[in-house]
Structure 1
């Protein structure tokens, strides 16, 4: 197995375990750290694997970051409706 995929799986496990732990700030601090780690990781996944593996990695991250993705989509829709 390639290094980028192993790192991605470790990231996914850490993200899911950190989501199960209690948090006073609704996990936002952990989400920022995980997102900062995910950006270079996804570039590495796209670099080392076929493009469809990178898209699967993005879908996996979107399932972990579902609320930030939902908020982003709402923000985009509001921006498109105001024009």
Structure 2
């Protein structure tokens, strides 16, 4: 894993701490920001109907064919 740091030391900025698995690409810029916004939008759409007093349950079928019914966002995203 590669590692970098962020913060102040003796009044100087340190580089950010980033843990990446070997062979992982690191990208920055406007394209990555747009990609992250799109990913957040997809996640929000997936859990939107589970929220609030009239939130609905979701039937989740995993790759092994096991069924789970949940309205918990963390469970749905797993």
Q: Tell me the TM-score normalised to structure 1 length.
A: 0.30
> Highest Rg: 1 or 2?
2
What is the TM-score with the length of structure 2 in the denominator? 0.31
| Bigger helix share | 1
